Amino acid sequence: MHQTLPNNQLKKALQANKRQVGLWVTFAHQQIAEVLADAGFDWLLFDMEHSPTDLYDVGQQLLAVRGTSTAAVVRVPILEMAWIKRVLDAGAPNIMVPNVRNAAEARDAVAFTRFAPEGLRGVAGSTRAGNYTRYTDFMARANDEVGLILQIESREALADLDAICRVPGVDAIFIGPSDLAASLGHRGNAGHPEVQAAIAQAFKTANAVGKAAGVLAADGKAEAYFAGGATFVGVGTDLHLLIAGADAAAAKFKL
């Protein structure tokens, strides 16, 4: 039966500078993804860098949100072609790459997400990404539909941010406040004025060249980040929601 590769709605929303609210997912369980997919978030980030989530888990999480209005983003553990290739083959429509430090690494990230001749991604159409050969236009459109988000988490990346944003194929940059704070000498204090000023300037740099900017706002500053030029913001994590709910319930009823 003829089927066509779905349009990447998150990619289109970022290009249109449309506010996108998301949640970080660290628990490697399909049921968690199912529950959160219907909560009303625009996107969910499935984290493979700082969680026990493996390739099989991500495959199940991607299936859990398939057919919903919530977009899936997968953060790979590292800028490495094999990881990116396998996660894309598993059906991830959007990839986040941590700790990209310069424009050269940004160009590598683009190449790893594109089939030749535009890139270096290994060609396979019989994976879930191509709906097991049923997306008859997969080879023609896959390069255009993949979403690529690069994390800016170091002093070096800030210094080269304009060039990073100008690399063709980069859809957005995303600030990692904790790593950035550590790089700037304020480990454990992402709220430090120097860190917050760097984040604000990063938004301006990205916006100036027409690139979407985002950040994880587990600190409750989501609205301020949106007001400062962020297009898409992670407003929390599944872990923090569980901790807050559990602590509140225990405090309410414990004598």
CA-nearest of 102, 230, 84, 111 to 169 is 111
pLDDT of residue 1: 65
| Single pTM value for the model | 0.95
**Cβ-based neighbour number of residue 126 at 10 Å:** 12
Both tokens of residue 191? Answer: 């709220």
pLDDT tens figures, 34-52 = 999 999 999 999 999 999 9
CA-based nearest residue to 13, from 173, 213, 231: 231
Residue located via tokens 């598993």: 90
Query: What local confidence, expressed as pLDDT, does residue 125 receive?
Result: 87
Give the residue numbers annotated as catalytic, written as ranges. Answer: 50
Cis check for the bond before 117: say yes or no (omega within 30 of 0).
yes
What is the predicted pLDDT for the residue at 143?
98
Domain boundaries, the chain: 9-253
Distance, CA of 98 to CA of 168 (rounded, Å)? 18
Give the whole-angstrom CA distance, residue 94 versus residue 74.
Answer: 6
Q: Which fold has domain 9-253?
A: TIM Barrel (3.20.20)
Residue 5 CA to residue 134 CA, distance in Å, equals: 9
pLDDT at residue 44, rounded to an integer = 98
Q: Mean pLDDT over all residues of the chain?
A: 96
| CA 112 distance to own-chain centroid | 16
Q: What is the mean pLDDT of residues 189-202?
A: 96
pLDDT band at 2 (very low <50, low <70, confident <90, very high): confident
